[in-house]
Structure 1
Amino acid sequence: MNWQDYIVSDNQVLLGKPTIKGTRISVELVLELFSAGWTEKQILESYPTVTAESLRAVFSYLKECIQQELYFPISSAKF
């Protein structure tokens, strides 16, 4: 999947946060919804401009970010 077809960043939209192309729905919002327990079906029904392909693109984008080490390191817990 070519996530660049679905994920864009524009300084004029949500302060440049990555969003689903043609929407104001950020990658961050999609992740928040999934982490809150929303299903793909719930997201697609609630946000009709989002497609199943654009949701997959969110994860493709994140995978590439992690591969390029564009993430915050997690410090190991000390017991």
Structure 2
Amino acid sequence: MNYKERIVADHQIMLGKPVIKGTRITVELLLRKMSQGAAVQDLLVMYPHLEEKDIQAALLYASDVLANEEVIHLNAA
């Protein structure tokens, strides 16, 4: 799956946060709901216009962002 088909970031929508294309539902919101115990099926009920592929795309997007994150270690003085 290519998440770029379903996840967009536009500075005019939700201040540029990544959202599900065609919605104002942020990747952050979906991840937060899942971290609080919501299952994919729960999200589909809460947001009936979403598809399971949208949620999979959000998870893939988040994992790609973390995989490409640079960690800078600062030495304590």
Question: What TM-score, normalized to structure 1?
Answer: 0.84
Secondary structure of the 1:25 match is coil
Within 5 Å, which residues of 2 pair with 1:18-37? Answer: 18-37=18-37
Please give the alpha-carbon distance, in whole angstroms, between the structure 1 residues aligned to 2:32 and 2:64: 19
Please give the alpha-carbon distance, in whole angstroms, between the structure 2 residues aligned to 1:11 and 1:69: 21
Partner residue in 2 for 1:56: 56
Identity of aligned residues (%): 39
Residue-pair matches, total: 72
Which amino acid in 1 is paired with 2:35? S
Alignment check: 8 A CA contact 1:27 1:58 kept: yes
Larger radius of gyration: 2
Within 5 Å, which residues of 2 pair with 1:1-79? Answer: 1-69=1-69
Q: Deviations over 1:41-66 (max 9, x none)?
A: 11101101211001000111112111
Please give the alpha-carbon distance, in whole angstroms, between the structure 2 residues aligned to 1:26 and 1:11: 13
Give unmatched runs, 5+ long, in structure 1.
74-79
What is the RMSD of the two structures over their aligned residues, measured on CA atoms?
A: 1.6
Q: CA deviation at 1:69?
A: 1.0
